[in-house]
Amino acid sequence: VKYGDTVSELAEQYGTTTDAIVQANNLRDPNFILAGQNLVIPAKGQSVQAAYQAQTVESTGSSSSSESEVSAVGTGESSAEASARAWIVQRESGGDYNARNGKYIGKYQLDNSYLNGDYSPANQEKTAERYVKQRYGSWVNAQKHWQTHNWY
């Protein structure tokens, strides 16, 4: 996503629908995307899994038969992990690194004590990754916990 992009413009540019992009990325609000955010853009009529597989073929030259093995573009994360991370982010902050809710700060709404005063996007990403891996083992497991308890 570049500054000024909208989901509807991206849908038009890539010949798909706004709904397809919203579904593929678990967007809570299609009017809220951020510059630098990576979005999966499925072709018109293409399933989300097929979109991930098409990206993998494009980026690695081979395909994968399991959605959980398919890498999300540019992250090295499986599509299931990337999807779970995106799902949590949308519910926690809508992707806003500056979001605040009491002692919880940033994109992942981490306790400020975890961030040690460094609220930079890079530190938020690194700290969230470490927190999730240590506490849940994976973003998929963190999402399952969130769905049960409304927090992760």
Interval 84-140: pLDDT, tens: 999 999 899 988 888 899 999 999 999 999 999 899 888 999 999 999 999 999 999
Answer yes or no: are the C-beta atoms of 135 and 111 closer than 8 Å. Answer: no
The pLDDT confidence band at residue 64, using thresholds 50, 70 and 90, is very low
Q: Which CATH number fits domain 1-76: 3.40.1670.10, 1.10.10.10, 3.50.30.30, 3.10.350.10?
A: 3.10.350.10
Is-above-0.85 flag for pTM? no
Architecture category of domain 77-152 in CATH: Orthogonal Bundle (1.10)
Place of tokens 């500056």: 98
Quick one: which of 105, 55, 112, 107 has its CA closest to 85? Answer: 107
